[in-house]
Amino acid sequence: MLNTWTGIANLGADPDVRTLDNGNSVCTFNVATSEKWKDKEGEKREQTEWHRIVCFGKTAELCGQYLEKGRQVYIEGKIQTRKWEDKDGVERWTTEIIARKVLFLGAKAEGGGRRNEPPPPGDDSSEFPF
């Protein structure tokens, strides 16, 4: 069985980095992918899908440091659905992409400057290749 999601997308907001009880970092952010086509009448159409991305460890720390709203990224990961309970005790389901690889691509899409450039690959390049 193969569970793989691969995409090039733009961040919809700045990433959120937190530290778990075990000391490990986790970073979450949302990205948008779009599909464009012409319908039967020749009208241009576009559909945007939003995806929640989760990454851990050094990858999470680097994403939190260098990514920002509008930045384009390449992501490889697996799709995971989990159940959780909201503040009112209502059972909810969330589908996320657990990132195995994140590559920083172009500059921020909305103009303006980038955050600091990522460091050159080092000992962590196998975990977080640039």
In a domain? residue 127: no
- Overall domain count for the chain: 1
For residue 127, pLDDT beyond 50: no
In a domain? residue 123: no
Structure tokens at 98: 């657990």
pTM, to two decimals: 0.77
DSSP class of residue 125? T
Closest CA to 118 of 52, 55, 53, 64: 64
Structure tokens at 95: 């589908």
pLDDT tens, position by position, 23-44 = 999 999 999 999 999 999 999 9
Buried b (16+ CB within 10 A) or exposed e, 29-43: bbbeeeeeeeeeeee
71 vs 109: CA distance, rounded Å:
6
Place of tokens 């909810």: 92
pLDDT tens, position by position, 62-90 = 999 999 999 999 999 999 999 999 999 99
Are 100 and 129 in contact, with CB atoms under 8 Å apart?
no
For residue 128, pLDDT beyond 90: no
The enclosing domain of 68 has a CATH number of: 2.40.50.140
Q: Which domain holds residue 78?
A: 5-34+45-104
What is the average pLDDT across 55-60?
95
